[in-house]
Structure 1
């Protein structure tokens, strides 16, 4: 929907039958060379805010041996090398559960590891060492690739691993001696920071060492969480066998507040794998990690899609939801201009310019997600007539279709009522039906406040719609 005046509203009805968004456009571009150029440029520009936001930040990426078993390691390494090239600092934590189980089976042992803490005997520890060493070498080899015409071309990435993790024995619990199963005691955060600040990628295996030189088998999820907390990481990303938390409609719940995640865990309705990862994601956020993600590894490029698209493809846990509808500040002027300028260019909006936005910024509200402003609206009060004008209601095209325009409208109606307005009006040239569906009725110039009547641009011939509050 494009509502414009002399003000404007841009939102859009959901269209489930159409491909929309940066990801769909990119896919379309790959199959349609004639149109690839403009679509690629638009997509590249739209991911720029995320690149700016995450450069210099630390991500901890954790995955189990199931990912390696599914032959998904090489594509993941290519995507991670791209993140590294964009200035994101990376720590990788890998698991090896299926590989350990396979080693045990081949050697004739009956023990098999599943989710949760289990005892590790001498034979299982040796299998854990072998499996961890093999996967670590596979990771190092993958990061060492540099074939021309591949994503790794010109990539020169240094991978560092070592004794960063001090462990302690789990001990005896309820009469069960866990032997070589351990827990994280301490992480050498300073050494790890020094490595990643020099541009290296730190790779951690699920093993820790005691001051006496013993090795202990660790849970990958616990290790990754401890590392993310210790580094105060921006993100902890679990690459999982599950698609994420599924809501009542069968869709992936893309964002959960931590308290909501804890409530789901307490209710006990989640499948075992999802609950297992969600437990650690919630724990990480509770202990200071900004965002924890559960991302399916069977979707090619899932890490990139999760980081560089608005809704992502998995479930993100945050201390509180990241969509923030708030009053604009002077620091938001640049972002508001970027939303407005394409509509000014195509004639949808009357040109305003930076100076006008700066003078009017206290009348704006903005929608922000994960530090990126993707919507705005403005409200002008006419107290004598007890009316308010809503204008510049804009939702970025790539983030339309999920009710953001409706959210902004309700917010501006609430603001208008708080100011004492009894009616709210908009001027539009293109989206009358959207407003009619939301309770607006058509009016005329004579229905506007006198001050607004004198400023009405008859050359644009905008339609006038009014709603009682």
Structure 2
């Protein structure tokens, strides 16, 4: 990468950095990731996120480390439906293994600090008895003994530490009020932490890049329903399935976004959060707000949205008859049967480009990122049509388009047929955005 490419890349990441600041992200890291050669790179990336103001909780596993200690001690693992049967004898080995992994993680973060440039901010890792647990009990006649599940989390204490810009490390152990210790599933624990903290994201690492379809193609995004269908096709219990299940459960119970990433992919965490294409599979919560192509029956709702802005001179006036003729170019966001936002894409095939127009959100729904969601939908339409760029004309919303990646341009870049209708009295500003291939 030459210097100019680096400058452009750094500028392009700025909106993503801003959007992540102050967000709460729970990281779910299996024991295999900690033993992997890429682990120290993951630690460096987590350090970077913390320095950028992201609130981070790291929940780790230790299954391969436990298996290794069991093998050395000549103890055969007992599993029932994917859960370990933890008797009193093996519980000591479990605690030793988890303690060793926890020490390894803390040492890795400390070494990153010592090897950082002078003056670099120190990321303090804190751990503690945040988890109150209870026994799972007997399943199908099998007593799981010291294998437990989360009863309660000390969310207030965790929030306090996050507010102090500390990285919270949670190991898969829980404690009962009577002093017992329980072995927990790190995946179930991470999911519960994300839900109870009302985290903005859960990021689950595994040994694969994400979820794949039947053709072996990577899913970049999955709705909850699509994720559920994908889980139904994959019956194997592995770290990939655990990651996808965790993402599904977290989103199903309120977490807006969850991501499956490959712990062996250097920089996957940064690529997923700070680049447009991402690195893994994102699972997102279904919304009551549906984005779809407009129908003739939506004309009344669209008119209700755009009329106030037409009166203010923000939009060019469109008659109902014209809107009925052009409704096929509109995309709308619907909530409970009402049109709450709209945007239009007018094709200019001769110039291999499209015009973005009429981006409007109802006043009571503004500020929630709905216009940006519509824009993303329009960009996908433009990409499918093979367009190289989008252009838009605006008199009062220039800053918003700049924030969405548009660049200022001259009237001369407009397609000839659009230039011929350009109203110099309105003196609209022209903005252009390239469409990623």
Question: Once the 2 structures are TM-superposed, how far is the Cα of residue 205 of structure 1 from its aligned partner?
Answer: 0.5
Question: Could you tell me how far apart the structure 1 residues matched to 2:316 and 2:172 are?
Answer: 51
Equivalent positions of 1:371-382 (< 5 A) are none
2:200 paired residue among 231, 234, 238: 234
Structure 1: which 4+ aligned runs deviate by more than 6 Å?
A: 321-327, 361-368, 428-432
- Corresponding position: 1:251 with 2:217: yes
Question: Could you tell me how far apart the structure 1 residues matched to 2:210 and 2:290 are?
Answer: 19
- Corresponding position: 1:116 with 2:82: yes
1:141 paired residue among 80, 102, 107: 107
Question: Once the 2 structures are TM-superposed, how far is the Cα of residue 403 of structure 1 from its aligned partner?
Answer: 4.8
Question: Once the 2 structures are TM-superposed, how far is the Cα of residue 155 of structure 1 from its aligned partner?
Answer: 3.1
**Structure 1 residue aligned with 2:304:** none
Question: Could you tell me how far apart the structure 2 residues matched to 1:362 and 1:126 are?
Answer: 75
**Structure 2 residue aligned with 1:372:** none
User: CA-to-partner distance for each residue in 1:87-145, whole Å, 9 max, x for gaps?
Assistant: 00000000000000100111111226698212111232111111111111111112112
Question: Could you tell me how far apart the structure 2 residues matched to 1:83 and 1:121 are?
Answer: 39
- Equivalent pair of 1:65/1:95 in contact (CA under 8 Å): yes
**Structure 1 residue aligned with 2:190:** 224
**Structure 2 residue aligned with 1:87:** 53
Question: Could you tell me how far apart the structure 2 residues matched to 1:271 and 1:168 are?
Answer: 24
Question: Once the 2 structures are TM-superposed, how far is the Cα of residue 325 of structure 1 from its aligned partner?
Answer: 8.0
Question: Could you tell me how far apart the structure 1 residues matched to 2:78 and 2:38 are?
Answer: 23
Equivalent positions of 1:94-113 (< 5 A) are 94-111=60-77
Equivalent positions of 1:40-439 (< 5 A) are 40-111=6-77, 116-145=82-111, 150=116, 154-268=120-234, 272-320=238-286, 359-360=314-315, 391=355, 403-406=380-383
What TM-score do you get using the length of structure 1 for normalisation?
0.64
**Structure 1 residue aligned with 2:300:** none
User: CA-to-partner distance for each residue in 1:177-217, whole Å, 9 max, x for gaps?
Assistant: 10000000000000000001100011001000000010000
142-151 or 247-256, which deviates more: 142-151
- Equivalent pair of 1:78/1:152 in contact (CA under 8 Å): no
Higher relative contact order (CA 8 A, sep 6+): 1
Question: Could you tell me how far apart the structure 2 residues matched to 1:362 and 1:309 are?
Answer: 37
154-163 or 273-282, which deviates more: 273-282
Question: Once the 2 structures are TM-superposed, how far is the Cα of residue 453 of structure 1 from its aligned partner?
Answer: 5.7
What TM-score do you get using the length of structure 2 for normalisation?
0.69
Question: Could you tell me how far apart the structure 1 residues matched to 2:199 and 2:272 are?
Answer: 16
- SS of 2:83 mapped into structure 1: coil
Structure 1: tracts of 5 or more residues without a match: 1-28, 30-34, 328-356, 369-375, 381-388, 411-427, 433-443, 457-469
- SS of 1:71 mapped into structure 2: coil
Question: Could you tell me how far apart the structure 2 residues matched to 1:158 and 1:454 are?
Answer: 58
Cα pair distance change 1:100/1:268, threshold 3 Å: closer
* Count of matched residue positions in the alignment of Structure 1 and Structure 2: 344
- SS of 1:145 mapped into structure 2: helix
Question: Could you tell me how far apart the structure 1 residues matched to 2:422 and 2:284 are?
Answer: 49
User: CA-to-partner distance for each residue in 1:211-236, whole Å, 9 max, x for gaps?
Assistant: 00100000000000000000010110
